[in-house]
Amino acid sequence: MNKLLPLLQKCALFKNKKKSEIELFLSKVNHKIDSFEKGETIISPIQFTDKLGIVLLGTVDVQKIFPNGKMIVIQKKRSSDLIGEYAIFSKLELYPHTVIANSLCKVLFLPKCELSVCFSSEKILMLNFLEILSNSNLILEHKIGTLSLISIQKKIAEFLIHYKKHLCKNAHSDIVILPFSKKDWAEYMNVSRTSLSRELKNMEMEGILSFEKRIIIVKNWGQLEKILSL
């Protein structure tokens, strides 16, 4: 329990909650911790929407798998992130997506029926959950906008401009530090890593940006805006 509480304190669901309050919450809820190997399915579309997960260790992919076998990574979840939050209180009986372990993972599961009772009596928990849902919707909205763009250059430009406007702590900075690897970035935009690297090199040759690993320095924001408007 002592190792579990610091991890849960980082979870947005328990924002503004003390360790003692989280410990009391867990004592009232019939929680369960499961371990998953890399590549193992954590949640699948054949499972009922009867539990909420919290990633304690590792990273997971939330995937949309189409009938033709094509797969899109909708979101990546890391330690302290929720999984299944978008479906647990919906009208859906089954989860709409597949959640796969990206590495060795540990996930804490909370039953839907007991969460409902807790939310009705714990206003802070309920508000925290609603904030998480709102943020998840914004992320998905941005994801849909990115996927709707045809060219890779437009996708890169849209991502960098969105980062500067909404995620960068210093609005005047020209430095973008990617929150994930280039491989994950390519998956986020639904393009191959090779195609992404090639387009970044083209944009570097055009003097729009320079990059090294996860660090991108934008040299011409105006040109990015122009690319996006074409």
Based on the domain organization, do 8 and 104 belong to the same domain?
A: yes
Based on the domain organization, do 14 and 122 belong to the same domain?
A: yes
Q: Look up the CATH number of the domain holding residue 178.
A: 1.10.10.10
User: Which tokens is 157 given?
Assistant: 């430009």
Q: Look up the CATH number of the domain holding residue 116.
A: 2.60.120.10
Based on the domain organization, do 198 and 110 belong to the same domain?
A: no
**Helix (H/G/I), strand (E/B), else coil: 177:** strand
Q: How far apart are CA 88 and CA 53, in angstroms?
A: 10
Q: How far apart are CA 184 and CA 193, in angstroms?
A: 9
pLDDT at position 2, please? 66
- Our count of domains for the chain comes to 2
Based on the domain organization, do 106 and 129 belong to the same domain?
A: yes
pLDDT tens, the chain, 230 aa long:
567 888 899 999 999 999 999 998 988 889 999 999 999 999 999 999 999 999 999 999 998 887 787 788 888 899 999 999 989 999 999 998 999 999 999 999 999 999 988 888 889 999 999 999 998 888 888 778 887 888 999 999 998 988 888 776 666 778 888 888 888 888 888 889 999 999 999 999 999 999 988 899 999 999 999 998 87
Report which residue type is found at 69. G
Based on the domain organization, do 88 and 122 belong to the same domain?
A: yes
Domain that holds residue 169: 149-229
β partners of residue 209: 218
93: phi then psi, degrees, rounded to nearest 5? -85, -30
- CA dihedral sign, ordered 3, 7, 8, 10: positive
Based on the domain organization, do 102 and 155 belong to the same domain?
A: no
Based on the domain organization, do 9 and 117 belong to the same domain?
A: yes
Based on the domain organization, do 15 and 127 belong to the same domain?
A: yes
| End-of-domain residue from the set 90, 112, 140 | 140
pLDDT at position 52, please? 95
Crossing angle of helices 112-121 and 19-28, in 10° steps, is 130
Based on the domain organization, do 156 and 111 belong to the same domain?
A: no
Based on the domain organization, do 16 and 106 belong to the same domain?
A: yes
Pairing mode, if any, of strands 215-218 and 175-177? antiparallel
Based on the domain organization, do 97 and 180 belong to the same domain?
A: no
Based on the domain organization, do 196 and 109 belong to the same domain?
A: no
Q: Which residue has the tokens 């590792």?
A: 58
